[in-house]
Chains A and B, each alone.
Chain A
Amino acid sequence: MNCYEVLGIEETYEIKRIKKAYAAKSREYHPEDHPEEFQVLHAAYEEALGRAKWMKAKAEMDAEKEDGGAEQEVSEVTSGENAAEEVGREPEPEEENAYGQWEEQFEQIADAGGRNAGINWMVRRLMEEFHILYMNETLRSKLYKWRDFFDEPFDNPRMPEVFASREFVEAWYHFLGSHHIFTTQIWQYFASVDGYRFNSEQYGIPRFPYHLYIEQVQSMERAIGWEREDAECPDAGSARYDGQSASQTENNPPIHSVNGWTEQNRRRTDEQEAGNAEETREERNAYRFVKKSGRRKLPKPLKVALYLLTCILGTVGGTILGLILGLIFG
Chain B
Amino acid sequence: MKARITVTLKSGVLDPQGKAIEGALRSLGIEGVASVRQGKVFDIELASKDKKAAESELKNACEKLLANTVIENYRVEVIG
Do A and B form a real pair?
no
Q: Point out residues on B near A: beta carbons under 8 Å.
A: none
